[in-house]
Amino acid sequence: MQIYVCVKHVPDSAASITIIDDTGIDKNITFLLNPFDEHAITQATKIRDSKTEEGIPNSEVIAVCLGPDDAQNTLQSALAMGADRGILIQTSENHDSIFTAKALKAAIDQDGTVDLILTGKESIDTEGMQTMFRLGALFDFSVANSIVKLEIEDGHAIVDHELSGGIVNTYQMSLPCVIGAGKGLNTPKYPTFPDIVKARKKIIKKIALADLNIEDSSASMTIVKLEPLQQKRNPVEIKGDAGQIAEQIVQILKQEAKVIS
């Protein structure tokens, strides 16, 4: 079973981001494997291991990334978490989800036969939630995002799709399909030191983006401007005895924060 996991090289959320020329950021910061993709890698390895136990030969997990040369570190993280090998589509530019999906499909088509594609439910930098749907459209595969439960049975994927308010819908999807992993799907399996050492011996195939001969799209998305988030806070002193203060806090939680009713 060939399981492809599309991963993204993203800035560390704890890093201090500096905007450059209104549309870019200073990249002299730490980049890492997109946290939601950790759930996708973990689930892919679980499926591979279960298929191996069932006697299905040659099951493997392949991590695929579109990014700069140092995105190899992100793929190394995926390999340390259990992926069998990696594919790096090399580019020095930032690409929108339309082009990214085309590049990922081209690399996967070049590599082998798809049985299942996993991604994280979103990336923490752009939060677009579009690439998996565009990838599914290009392959003509069914797509489900924010998945919190996944079972593979008789050529189908049985998934629980989590909506807001705790609502969960269950779907049956024919394989191959595209699955966006949510946080509730599993607890990521973080690598041990031996895992990291073993990952260094695994293969990462590098593909120049130009070699994929991707046709230009009639549609595209461009970043017009980036602006830092400015949070304005207006502290208000709460006065009175303990009972009065408690009453005022309750009213704030009801009327302003709207977290209780």
pLDDT at 261 over 80: no
Predicted TM-score (pTM) of the model is 0.85
pLDDT (tens digit per residue) in 59-93: 999 999 999 999 999 999 999 999 999 999 999 98
Q: What are the structural domain ranges in the chain?
A: 2-212, 233-261
Return the CATH fold of 2-212: Rossmann fold (3.40.50)
Name the band, by pLDDT with cuts 50, 70 and 90, for residue 221: confident
pLDDT the model gives residue 257? 77
Provide the residue type at 246 as one letter.
A
pLDDT the model gives residue 222? 86
Name the band, by pLDDT with cuts 50, 70 and 90, for residue 184: very high
Average pLDDT over residues 235-245: 89
pLDDT (tens digit per residue) in 7-54: 999 999 888 888 888 888 888 899 999 999 999 999 999 999 998 888
Phi, psi (rounded to 5 degrees) for 5: -120, 115
